[in-house]
Amino acid sequence: MYLKRLEMENFKSFKGEVVVPYERGFTAITGPNGSGKSNCGDAIQFVLGYKSAKDVRASNVLDLLFNGGKNNKPAKFCKVSLIFDNPEDSDGSRRLKIDADEVHFTRTVRKTRSGSASSNYYLNGTSCRKRDVTDVFLGTGLGPRSYAIIEQGMISQ
């Protein structure tokens, strides 16, 4: 089981759709300061279900919508999907207890007319609770606060 693709739409600095293919052999994203490297990690934690928006360097979930910068309109909707490879082991079991070779976890946020945020989670395209996403990762070692994700500054801390 491994994360093979990250798909983002209007998440933080990423305008429109952006796909990061974390295929086998992938080691690093490089780029200048402020180019969105850490935002990719934030996108992963966004889907896994962080405890506080501060964990993804935002004061509130609406700060995660692409803000339009200087030349574009601010987005009213954002969507991030994590696509995991989930093959059958030799004994027929799978690391993620979902009977599919590929598992898609998706979270969306919509800014409502009244200006509040509406958040939804999906498992392989079907609407689910945040709790259902957490449950699938139980026992795999992956979660928003697990050592599978080491943030900038955490190593020296």
Regarding 134 and contact with Mg ion (CB under 5 A), the answer is no
Cα Dmax for the chain: 54
Regarding 33 and contact with ligand ATP (CB under 6 A), the answer is yes
Give the nearest distance from C-beta 13 to ligand ATP in angstroms.
4
Regarding 36 and contact with ligand ATP (CB under 6 A), the answer is yes
Give the angle 14-41-66 at the CA atoms, nearest 5°: 25
Give the nearest distance from C-beta 33 to ligand ATP in angstroms.
4
d(CA 109, CA 119): 4
Phi/psi class of residue 36: alpha, beta or left (left: φ > 0; alpha: ψ in -120 to 50)?
A: left
Give the nearest distance from C-beta 32 to Mg ion in angstroms.
10
User: Position 47: which residue type?
Assistant: V
Annotate 69-131 with three-state secondary structure.
CCCCCCCCEEEEEEEEECCCCCCCCCCCCCCCCEEEEEEEEEECCCCCEEEEEEECCEEECHH
Regarding 120 and contact with Mg ion (CB under 5 A), the answer is no
Regarding 30 and contact with ligand ATP (CB under 6 A), the answer is no
Residue among 66 and 105 whose Cβ is closer to ligand ATP: 66
Regarding 20 and contact with ligand ATP (CB under 6 A), the answer is no
The 40-79 site mask, x for binding ligand ATP (CB under 6 A), equals: -----------------------x-xxx-x----------
Q: What are the residues binding Mg ion (CB under 5 A)?
A: 37-38
Q: What are the residues binding ligand ATP (CB under 6 A)?
A: 12-13, 31, 33-39, 63, 65-67, 69, 152
